[in-house]
């Protein structure tokens, strides 16, 4: 694990940052003397952040923050010894009493890469009995959806296996091409929040809180424009007329998410 922190001060500025980096490495042994019985997992979890506080005047301050956090691995690249193109095979009972053989075939890894980027700015302005805060936050999400798949076969016994007569076949397949796995989709999503708030000191013991917030939760979409999106039918065929289309946003985001806020604080006098 690597963690670093830094700080820089100026008369009107305060800048700080941090780096958090953690690699996770494991190797599993599945038995046997074949190279593909070893399975490697190498993941990295890291985060970066920076904060800048600036003083414009004694009654006007601003805080800006940026950050990024990620979690990723690619078990396909890390296991070149694994014949992932070959199917996984399982054989059931042999003789009496039943003897079950373990599945043979290499482990099937996955490919993950997820990042969250955030940008936030909050300003504070003090005007007489008013303490006004305003600002916003923008978040951008990155998801890698890279389905890895291959067929698998289960046999009742060794005789069915020798005769190439499986009892079942399974696997994840692309509905468009029929190939194992699926189409890669680099998914994206945008989130936005804005606010303004006034803490008004009506009397020395009563403070009135008035604010307005706005939130936007963007739709999930892919860079390749290849998401499969459900489309419902109309009228009485709402469910029976359901269909799929490829491309576009996964849902339609709402743009009117306003939230007014009103509150107060009262501190009774102590005699």
Sheet holding 168-170, edge to edge: 88-91, 152-155, 168-170
Output the pTM of the full model.
Answer: 0.80
Q: Give me the DSSP letters along 26-48.
A: EEEE-SSS-GGGEEEEEEEEEEE
Q: φ, ψ for residue 235 (rounded to 5)?
A: 60, -135
Q: For residue 1, what pLDDT is reported?
A: 66
Q: For residue 103, what pLDDT is reported?
A: 56
Contact in structure between 16 and 6 (CB atoms under 8 Å): yes
The CA-based dihedral angle spanning residues 235, 236, 238, 242, taken in that order and rounded to the nearest 10 degrees? -110
Q: How far is CA 252 from CA 94, 185, 220, 232, in A?
A: 55, 19, 9, 14
Nearest to 111 by CA among 156, 144, 149: 144
Mean pLDDT, each 10-residue run in order, the chain (271 residues): 68 91 87 72 94 94 97 91 79 57 68 96 96 97 89 84 87 72 89 96 92 96 88 86 86 93 85 52
Q: Give me the DSSP letters along 224-242.
A: TS--EEEE--SGGGTTTT-
Q: For residue 97, what pLDDT is reported?
A: 47
Per DSSP (E only), the strands in the chain are: 2-9, 13-29, 38-57, 60-74, 88-91, 111-127, 130-145, 152-155, 168-170, 185-203, 206-217, 221-222, 228-231, 243-246, 258-266
Given the DSSP bridges, would you call strands 185-203 and 221-222 parallel, antiparallel or unpaired? antiparallel
């Amino acid at each position: 694990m690597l963690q670093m922190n830094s700080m820089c001060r100026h008369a009107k500025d305060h800048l700080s940052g941090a780096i958090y980096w953690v690699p996770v490495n494991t190797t599993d042994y599945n038995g046997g003397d074949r190279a593909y019985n070893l399975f490697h997992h190498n993941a990295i979890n890291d985060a970066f952040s920076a904060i800048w506080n600036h003083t414009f005047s004694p009654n006007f301050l601003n805080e800006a923050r940026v950050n990024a956090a990620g979690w990723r691995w690619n078990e396909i690249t890390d296991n070149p010894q694994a014949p992932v193109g070959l199917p996984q095979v399982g054989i059931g009972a042999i003789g009496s009493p039943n003897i079950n053989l373990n599945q043979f075939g290499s482990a099937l890894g996955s490919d993950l890469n997820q990042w969250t980027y955030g940008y936030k700015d909050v300003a504070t302005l003090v005007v007489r009995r008013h303490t006004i805060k305003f600002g916003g936050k923008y978040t951008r999400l990155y998801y890698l959806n890279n389905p890895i798949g291959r067929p698998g076969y289960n046999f009742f016994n060794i005789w069915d296996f020798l005769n190439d007569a499986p009892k079942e076949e399974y696997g994840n397949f692309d509905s468009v091409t029929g190939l194992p796995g699926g189409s890669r989709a680099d998914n994206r999503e945008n989130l936005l929040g804005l606010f303004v708030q006034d803490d008004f000191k009506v009397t020395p013991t009563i403070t009135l809180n008035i604010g307005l917030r706005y939130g936007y939760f963007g739709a999930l979409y892919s860079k390749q424009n290849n998401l499969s999106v459900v489309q419902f039918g109309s009228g009485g065929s709402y469910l029976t007329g359901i269909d799929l289309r490829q491309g576009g946003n996964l849902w339609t985001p709402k743009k009117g998410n306003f939230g007014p806020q009103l509150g107060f604080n009262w501190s009774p006098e102590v005699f």
